[in-house]
Amino acid sequence: MAHRGGRHFLQIPGPTNVPDRILRAMDRPTIDHRGPEFQKLGREVLDGIKPVFGTTQPVVIYPASGTGAWEAAIVNTLSPGDKVLMFETGHFATLWRGLAQRFGIETEFVPGDWRHGVDAGVVEAKLREDTGHAIKAVMVVHNETSTGVTTRVPLVRQAIDRAGHPALLLVDTISSLGSIDYRHDEWGVDVTVAGSQKGLMLPPGLSFNAVSEKAMAASRNNRMPRSYWDWQDMAKPNQNGFFPYTPATNLLYGLREAVAMLMEEGMANVFARHDRHAEATRRAVRAWGLEILCAEPAEYSSALTAVMVPDGHDADELRRVILDRFDMSLGAGLAKLAGKVFRIGHLGDFNDLSLAGTLAGVEMGLSVAGIPHRSGGLDAAMRFLEGNGGEAKKAAE
């Protein structure tokens, strides 16, 4: 292939661009994972990651993708035949349901339109009906990567509490952690599931479970077979900075650097930056005359925006044109959204000029691909970005 000048714009909703600081941090020799140098690293990352989750409780780190963290959450808290309450908020909620079913879990799956998050009223009603407490867990996706819809987890927690139900709360934050405000302890989450390749700005390969005391107690008594994913096997060596099997040492170097970057910026500032870029993107979409897939403004995602193309047009063809002409990758529509939407990722290591370049590529691509739209989306975003960001805060309130 001929060389293409400039850099490729990777604007899918993850994996995200890996900053040079993190690449350099990982670019060092692998060390003895049973030695004192690794012990220091292990303690640093196991403690350092906790504020990113908003927790003082244990965070388990696996060499795995986010799917592994899904599985770990299930096998450590549930038993074959248990019942859980889940919601069809998009493609990844549907996949998590399928994974649960493979372990013999009975899933009550509330249908959805892929344009709204979890309805807390339905959560409360379902749990009030469950007088025998057959439902052992409520499992929700915080930020649905396939749709750009964010479920309001505090409302789900309040619904569980109003119903007086003992169900565990399991939350997938794979595309929200480090990008969208999240508070494991304050929101009463029992297991938070996460991955390394999105807001944490790392390559794929690490996954996480943040674990409440209630969930840890459940793991001591449940009957699900497990080995690799067992929290109890992790707990003892983690106390001393070690792992029960070979860890992904160089990714842990990167994780240490990623946490340092997030702490230097400050989590509140990280969230405000993502809110601001999301609002600028939505202003561009509206100026183009296109429709945002998320139907409820209070549920707009600050990590990505899914954009619907007009009937009779193919979002995948638009993505192909943008990749071929402008060397930029956008997220595809998944499952029943295939060809109907494209997804703009605006999370991770990202600034105003990165967003402006992204939106310029989309606007040019819309013209080249013959997608009906109005011009001026980039200008609308730029006018917003020129401000101090105060409007973004108001828009998010």
Compute the radius of gyration of the chain from its Cα atoms.
Answer: 21
CA distance 268 to 31: 34
User: ∠ CA(338), CA(74), CA(14), 5° rounding?
Assistant: 40
CA distance 52 to 266: 10
CA distance 104 to 268: 40
102 annotated to a ligand binding site: no
Q: 193: closest CA among 69, 279, 290?
A: 69
Q: Determine the residue type at 14.
A: G
DSSP state of 300: B
Residues in the chain: 397
Residue 286 burial (10 A CB sphere; 0-12, 13-18, 19+)? middle
Tokens of 370: 């013959």
Residue list for the binding site for substrate: 343
Residue list for the binding site: 343
